[in-house]
Every structure is written in structure tokens, then in C-alpha cells.
Structure 1
Amino acid sequence: MNSRKKFPTGILGFPTAPFNEKGTIDEKALAVNIDFLINEGLSSIFIACGSGEFHAISRAEYQMMVEVAIETTAGRVPVYTGVGGNITDAIELVKLSEDLGADGYLILPPYLIDGEQEGLYQYYKAIVKESELDAILYNRDNAIVNLDTLQRLVDEFPQIVGLKDGLGNMELNLELVQTIGDRLEWLNGMPFAEITMPAYAKIGFNSYSSAMSNYMPHISRLFFDALKEGNEDVVNDIYVNVLLPINSIRKARKGYAVSLIKAGMNIQGFPVENSVRPPCIAVESDHYETLSKIIKKALEKYPAEQKEISNL
């Protein structure tokens, strides 16, 4: 077993890439987003990942986002970066993340190719062996490792510390968790993870990435605490009044898993434009208004402690 520090559990922070009216990343807005997540008790920051539009940012923008994350966290919580693409690019991003002081990285699915298990093993091996940083694998889309492949990887590389699931195959998840156990941290990475967290928590997933935490983290905490404590009334109440209505909007358009976060942040007064880069699309005006009404009702029912958004 590796001697790594305890991997953060609970609600994980995934900041966005806040674009200004010129279409460039607003560094100050990104710092505000990160600082807010930390102050609200999220256990770690995952920068330049899916919600950070990894697919759409340049190498220079990637480096800037990681630098802002490292500077803003100031050691308060671990920082993990997103890496992926072809092997050469992924390794370069791992080494850049290491040089900049990140604690680890999440390997996003490689482009397009639906590889055999041996191909996935070789892909992950080529990346992970280049660094001692904590590495997290991501089961989703075209990169789904089975038990045999995951077991080979974790036996060979102690720096692999977690697996994030964005597929939703509970039979596979049970097989993985029951066999590998606490050797890994298990992360629920499904779109709008609160929706599926009751099922994931019961099989050993203690962490999840929360999009809603970018604009209503106190409700995410209330929900997760109730889930852990077995308070089904609160869990169900938040489901009916908050989660399901927001999820209904999220499913209305492809790409809303990213842009709906920014819309929620914009509604809540963060310095974030309701803008994303193609192929994602911004939240349409009618959906934006519906989300605004849902957030207003949610805050009336579950009021947050009044805090000013820090301008750092």
C-alpha cells in the first residue's frame, strides 16, 4: 500500500471555466469560484476537468487555471487537475501539474476510440508510470475498465488512489468495490451526482462531484448529511423540491451539464457569464428563468447563512 495522504472524501469541488464578455477566462472570477467552494467546506478542488471545459481550453489557459487553483487554495485543500487526450498530451499535462504543485490528477477518457481492455490498461499505464502524483481513473463513455484491468493497474501502481464512475453500471460498481475495497476511494461522477448518490452511498461510494455546490453548496451539504444519517424525510424533500426540478432542465439540452452550472452561478451573483464554448451551448432564456425560480424557492425553503461572495 502506498503511503499517500488520506484522499479527501465527501463533496468534491469542480470549478467552471468562467468566460467573460470577450470569451476569455476571467482569472478573478475563477479565484472567487474556488475560494467559495473551499470556504463552504468542499474537500478538494478538481481544476480544468469536465465542468472546467477541459475539451475547449488551450494549453496556456489550462496552465493559468491550474496556477490560479494552486494559488487560491494555498494548501487549504488538495488540488487535482484534469488530464487526457492522446498519451503524449496527457503525460505533458501530468508533468505540468506536478511542476505547478498539484496533488494529483483525474484521467479523462481518451478521444473517440473504444479500446479493448488491454488497450485501456496500456493507456493508463503509460500515463501513470510517469509520475508519483495521485492518479484517479474515470469510468465513462469509451473508457470503461473491468475488474481484471483495474486490479492489474492498482496492483502495479500504488499512486492510483481512486476511481470515478460516470457510467452508472451498478453491477460493475459492486464487483469493483466488493473486490478491491478500500484500496481505492470510490467517487460518484454521474451527471448531477446528487440524483444517484443514495444508490452509490449504499455500495461504498463516499465521495461525489457536485455541480450544484458551485451555487448552492449548503443544500448539497444538507442533502449529503441527511443521506449519511439516514434521514429519509430530508433526502426526499430535497429530491422533490430541488434536485429533480433542476435535473429536468439539465436533461433538456445536451451540454447543459456544464452550462447549467454557470447559469446557476450567474443567478446567484457570481461574476460568471452564462457562456460556454462550442460544442456546448449556453442555457436558453426560458430554461434560465425556470432555473432562477427553482433556486429562489430552494433558498426560501433552505436558507443559506448570509455570506458575501469574496472578491479576493
Structure 2
Amino acid sequence: MFELKGAMTAIVTPFKNGKFDDVSFRNLIKRQIENGIDCIVPCGTTGEAVTLDFNEYEKVVGTCVEECKGQVGVLAGAGSNNTKKVIEMAKLAQSLGADAILSVTPYYNKPTQEGLYQHYKAIADAVDVGVVIYNVPGRTSVNILPDAVARLSEIDNIIGIKEASGSLNQVSEIIEKAKEGFSVVSGDDFLTLPMLSIGGQGIISVTSNVAPAMISEQYDAFVAGDLKKAKALHHKMYPLHQMMFIETNPIPVKTAVALMGLVEEEFRLPLCKISNTNKEKLKTMLKEYEFLG
């Protein structure tokens, strides 16, 4: 079973002239691997997954698996507010060779805690690979609580949770209540180090699209017991983390990667290009971190 830990990248999905740009995508993945990232996470929030049709989803996940094969893991996003649709996506990702599935809590429907339990149980029952819960209440209006997560942790192939509630209290309670071996990873770049310090197992990062080496170094430093280095990297990257969320994710991070010459600056509605003011701020910061030129 896939082990959920380490420095992982919620990778952007590049588009060119309205279509998935597989050439740029492969180059992005190669850059991530070369800079020490442990796992690629395609078709998540940062990958504009909700704008991909089923055929595009298959291409993105399939391309990611091809590039990562034998090198790093693939944790494929498969999220929807329709359980049946998630199961179809999860089965497809499994058939394409993804190591595990990352599935966001159903948005808009606002299910109860029991509904969330039944939703994830149905997904886990439908596939053989690992299933990772993704909790991000700021985007979904749903917060899966520690008791429900603990129940789900008893299901063999529900292996962990990407926690982006922003609450260290909630993270602590999940770690305390969940089955031994259940992995909790950060979904907030800002909270990577605090979460590692209380028992978290890694980060699914947005910032690593821009700075994979630094994100990887921070995780490796913590695991090696070099807390001084891990703390220094936390503070060094903090302004960059802030800049990645100056507008709705993934607008800033994709713009940054485009400014670095790695993808086209192309989004799908309802997302649009970053404001000129924020773009100038982004350029200035990328220069300060020596990511341009």
C-alpha cells in the first residue's frame, strides 16, 4: 500500500490554446523529481481539476503516471460532490496506475458526518489502492471532524488525510484518535513545520510548484532532526507562501510558474489571470528568491 509521507506537490495543469499541454506537464514533473519531491499530486485544486472533462482527466493522470513510474508516487485527485462520479474517477485512476487517490470532501451538498463516512467508505470499497481524505473547509463549507476521520481510519485502504482546516487542535485530535499508522499531512504550506512537530507526516504543497528544492529540504531537515535548518527554511519561505495565496489558488502559483517560463499563463473560467498589481508583486518576489532570470 502507498505510504503517505514526505514532500509532495499539488501540481498545476498547464493549458495551451485551451487544451491540456502534455509537453509542459512532463517537464514540470521532471523538474519536481530532480529537486527531491517524493510524490506528484495531479488533478487537485491546484490542478484546476473541476474544469477538466473525463477524457482530460484520463490524459493528465495517465501522463503523470508515465513520467513518475519507478521514481516517485502518484496520488491522483478524484473529487466531486457526487459519490458515484468519484468512484468512476477513482477506478479510472487506479487502472491508469496511480498509487493512491486523494478525494476532497463533497462540496455544496453539505453532508452530515455520517454522510461523509458513507461517502468515503463507498470510495474505499470500490478500489484496491489507498484512499486519502482531503479536508479543506474554507473551499468546501464542510469540515470532516476527528471522530469521523477516526472511524474511517479503521478501513484498511483509507490511509490518511490531507488536513487543511488550519486548526492545529483538530490535527492533534485526529492524530490522537485515528488508528496507528494513519497518516496526517499538511494541506497548508504555512503549517508544514508546526504539523510535522506534532506528528504530521508531510506536506502536499502549492509552493513546491515554484520552489520544490526548498520544500523538500525542509521536510528532509525535519526528519533528520535538523530543526534549526527546518525552522530557518520555514521563515525563509513564509513570504513566498503568502504570495502564493494573494489571490485564489492556483492563480498566483500558476502565474509564477508561467513567469518562470515553464507553462503558458492560461486558466479556465471561472478562474482568470491575476491582477496587474499582484502580478508585479509576484515578479518582485520571484526576483528576490532568484527564480527569474
TM-score (norm 2): 0.90
Alignment match, 2:104: 108
Alignment match, 2:165: 167
Letter of the aligned partner of 2:127 in structure 1? S
Q: Secondary structure of 1:279's partner?
A: coil
Q: Secondary structure of 2:56's partner?
A: helix
d(CA) in 2 for partners of 1:102, 1:202: 29
Alignment match, 1:263: 255
**1:141-160, aligned counterparts within 5 Å?**
141=137, 142-155=141-154, 157-160=155-158
Letter of the aligned partner of 2:272 in structure 1? I
d(CA) in 1 for partners of 2:213, 2:282: 17
**1:115-154, aligned counterparts within 5 Å?**
115-141=111-137, 142-154=141-153
Q: 1:62 aligns with which of 48, 57, 73?
A: 57
Alignment match, 1:293: 284
- Say how many residue pairs are matched: 288
d(CA) in 2 for partners of 1:99, 1:233: 40
Q: Secondary structure of 1:75's partner?
A: coil
d(CA) in 1 for partners of 2:23, 2:34: 16
Runs of 4+ aligned structure 1 residues displaced above 6 Å come to none
d(CA) in 2 for partners of 1:218, 1:261: 16
Aligned residues with identical type, % of pairs: 24
Deviation at 1:37, TM superposition (A): 0.9
Any unmatched runs of 5+ in structure 1? Answer: 304-312
Letter of the aligned partner of 2:259 in structure 1? I
Any unmatched runs of 5+ in structure 2? Answer: none
Deviates more, 1:227-236 or 1:207-216: 227-236
Q: Secondary structure of 1:136's partner?
A: strand
1:171-197 Cα distance to aligned partner (Å, 9 max, x none)? 22111102226421111012xx1x222
Letter of the aligned partner of 2:199 in structure 1? G
For residues 188 and 234 of structure 1, do their structure 2 counterparts lie closer, same or farther at Cα, with a shift above 3 Å needed? closer
Aligned residues: CA RMSD = 2.3
Alignment match, 1:279: 270
d(CA) in 1 for partners of 2:166, 2:134: 12
TM-score (norm 1): 0.85
Q: 1:75 aligns with which of 70, 94, 110?
A: 70
* Bigger-Rg structure (1/2): 1
